[in-house]
A = this chain, B = another copy of it.
Amino acid sequence: MPTLNEVARRAGVTPATVSNVLRGRGRVGEATRQRVLEAVQALGYRPHLSARALAEGRPPTIALMVSSIANPFYPEFALVVENALRRSGRFLIICNTDGDPQTGRAYLEQIAGTLSAGVLVMNANLDFADLRATVRRGAPVVLCMWERPLDPPGLPCVAVDFRRAGELAAHHLLTLGHRRIGAIVGSKVSGIHAARYDGFVAAMQAAGLDGAGAPVRYAPDTTQGGYAATSELLARHPDLTAIFATNDLPALGAMQAAADLGLDVPRELSVVGITDIQLARESRPALTTVAVATTEAAELAVELLTELVEAPDSAAGATARVCVVPAPRLVVRASTAAPRTKG
């Protein structure tokens, strides 16, 4: 592969000039400019990105940390991220942590700052201490889809009001007339779905019900998790008329469980989720859910990170800016309906 030097030689100029031409820096005479361009063309020259990364002090690369890219939510997000990065001439490294903080730390230590200029963090179960260390090492970190806008994490983040999302979902069920509602909370209590559940509880209480006392199960954030949780809930509380799930995947699992139990959704059981992933539209019955602004969040996250990466690095860490995306909104589909009149 031809190098800058070879191009320079061929054009009868120095490497510095070629560099200037290629990146539009510094003044270059139109004649030399042309000669350089021709040489580039003739040789099929492409800049060596690793060399450039070294010289510039930062790679054209961003890392996206996820627990598993196979979770149906992540690819939708990653797609937008990749597009946004591509537009700015950057590239995307996918880091699967397998939900293991150790793996996450290993990734951060290896590539942050040396192979990736910055880090985008989805729900990857990372230690905040590791993230802060990463920032100290000079690689900005942005948290994507932070759940509680009012309770900033001390790191730059894009926040989504998931508490509100929980409220909206619960409120929808209540409005339909449901009173005996079971809740499925993805990941552990202290986990990131707490805000969504808080919203549910609040909406229930606002309706004069004992929200915190409603049947609840904590389950892995998967269809299987939702399936198992629903089976249990229904076994223990056969009178439930609706299921509130903090995420779409468990909600989809709830619908499967209902189907396997011979329960008609929504006639005999209503199900509502949160997020509005692609699958929610495609399931039968289609899932009623609360849509969050995924695309906007992804774009904001990239924008924010890009800014930090390019910032004169002092200002970067100090800011810890919080961007809030548009409010979640209810999307009514076919998985919810008024409860059957008893009898």
Chain A residues at the B interface, C-beta cutoff of 8 Å = 1, 46-51, 53-54, 59-61, 68-72, 74-76, 78-79, 82-83, 86, 91-96, 109-111, 113-115, 137-138, 223, 252, 255-256, 259-260, 278-279, 282, 284
Given A69-B78, A91-B115, also A256-B282 (CB < 8 A): yes
With A and B bound together, what is the CA distance between A1 and B75 in angstroms?
32
Given the complex, which residues of B lie within 8 Å of A61, measured CB to CB?
A: 93, 115
Given the complex, which residues of B lie within 8 Å of A71, measured CB to CB?
A: 75
The answer to whether B111 touches A82 (Cβ under 8 A) is no
With A and B bound together, what is the CA distance between A259 and B282 in angstroms?
12
- Identical subunits present: 2
Given A82-B94, A91-B93, also A60-B115 (CB < 8 A): yes
Question: A98: nearest residue on chain B (CB-CB)?
Answer: B83
Question: A137: nearest residue on chain B (CB-CB)?
Answer: B1
13 pairs, A vs B, C-beta closer than 8 Å: A49-B115, A50-B114, A50-B115, A53-B115, A68-B79, A82-B94, A82-B96, A83-B96, A86-B96, A91-B93, A91-B115, A93-B93, A252-B282
Given the complex, which residues of B lie within 8 Å of A91, measured CB to CB?
A: 93, 95, 111, 115
Question: A253: nearest residue on chain B (CB-CB)?
Answer: B282
The answer to whether B75 touches A70 (Cβ under 8 A) is yes
The answer to whether A114 touches B70 (Cβ under 8 A) is no
With A and B bound together, what is the CA distance between A59 and B50 in angstroms?
7
Measured CB to CB, the closest approach of chain B to A137, in angstroms, equals 6
Given the complex, which residues of B lie within 8 Å of A95, measured CB to CB?
A: 82, 91
The answer to whether B284 touches A255 (Cβ under 8 A) is yes
The answer to whether A48 touches B114 (Cβ under 8 A) is yes
With A and B bound together, what is the CA distance between A143 and B36 in angstroms?
36
Q: A50-B59, A70-B76, A260-B284 given. 9 additional CB < 8 A pairs?
A: A46-B114, A50-B114, A60-B115, A68-B79, A69-B78, A74-B75, A94-B94, A259-B284, A279-B279
Measured CB to CB, the closest approach of chain B to A316, in angstroms, equals 15
Taking a contact as CB atoms closer than 8 A, the residue among B92, B113, B259, B278 that contacts A93 in the complex is: B92
The 8 closest A-B pairs by CB, nearest first: A49-B115, A50-B53, A49-B114, A48-B114, A259-B284, A70-B79, A70-B75, A69-B75
Question: A72: nearest residue on chain B (CB-CB)?
Answer: B72
Given the complex, which residues of B lie within 8 Å of A83, measured CB to CB?
A: 96
Given the complex, which residues of B lie within 8 Å of A53, measured CB to CB?
A: 50, 115
The answer to whether B1 touches A70 (Cβ under 8 A) is no
Measured CB to CB, the closest approach of chain B to A42, in angstroms, equals 15
Given the complex, which residues of B lie within 8 Å of A74, measured CB to CB?
A: 75
Question: A48: nearest residue on chain B (CB-CB)?
Answer: B114
Question: A46: nearest residue on chain B (CB-CB)?
Answer: B109
With A and B bound together, what is the CA distance between A137 and B278 in angstroms?
39
With A and B bound together, what is the CA distance between A50 and B55 in angstroms?
10
Given the complex, which residues of B lie within 8 Å of A137, measured CB to CB?
A: 1
Question: A259: nearest residue on chain B (CB-CB)?
Answer: B284
